[in-house]
Amino acid sequence: MQTSTLDKQLAFLKEIDRLKSVIRQSPLLDRSRKENSAEHSWHLAMYALILSEHAGETVDATRVIQMLLLHDIVEIDVGDFPIHGGTSRELQAEQESKAAVRLFGLLPQPQGSELLGLWQEFELAQTADAKFAKVLDRFQPLLVNLATGGGTWTENDVSLDQVLSRYGPVIEAGAPDLWAACERWVIEHFRNGQAA
């Protein structure tokens, strides 16, 4: 018996439920616990809905939202790679690429290929939509760290220079005005002795 389109779609949706179990380093703003990757993806989609006017180029907010809902699905297989975790980017990219092929391969065609293509576009960050999606993926954790008195920066002894070099180029490339605000907030944060 051949598996139907609906069966494949439901298998994918059941599989991605596992994203709720992937715990990230960033805390919730109330600091009651760490966020999970599904919450992170949802929150980033909301950022895209609300903040798309701040992109450096014209973006299609719907496509940005789609990328952000998909971008961390690979963590089901490989877990979260914290920005300050010291993991090899090449190893991370290889593992995530394999996970993307497996996970989006659960879907019927051409749907699986279309979503894999969106995920790959996000990873390459060359289109205006993908650049802005990457911006938001850095912007949200930066704001969480500021709102939680240093959050993971304090936990990992992250310096001002590390924050500026890790967040700055990505945010500035896709949303220069957002980076100008972030840079000001981050410098003020470190000047006040709020983090390492």
The model's pLDDT over 99-116, given as tens digits with 9 standing for 90+, comes to 999 999 999 999 999 999
pLDDT at 1: 53
- Give the pLDDT confidence score for residue 194 in this predicted structure: 53
Distance CA 140, CA 117 (A): 24
For the chain, domains (ranges, CATH) are: 5-191 (1.10.3210.10)
Q: What is the pLDDT of residue 3?
A: 79
Residues of the chain where predicted confidence (pLDDT) is lower than 70 = 1-2, 82-87, 194-196
Report whether the peptide linkage leading into residue 169 is cis, meaning its omega lies within 30 degrees of zero. no
Q: What is the reported pLDDT for 102?
A: 98
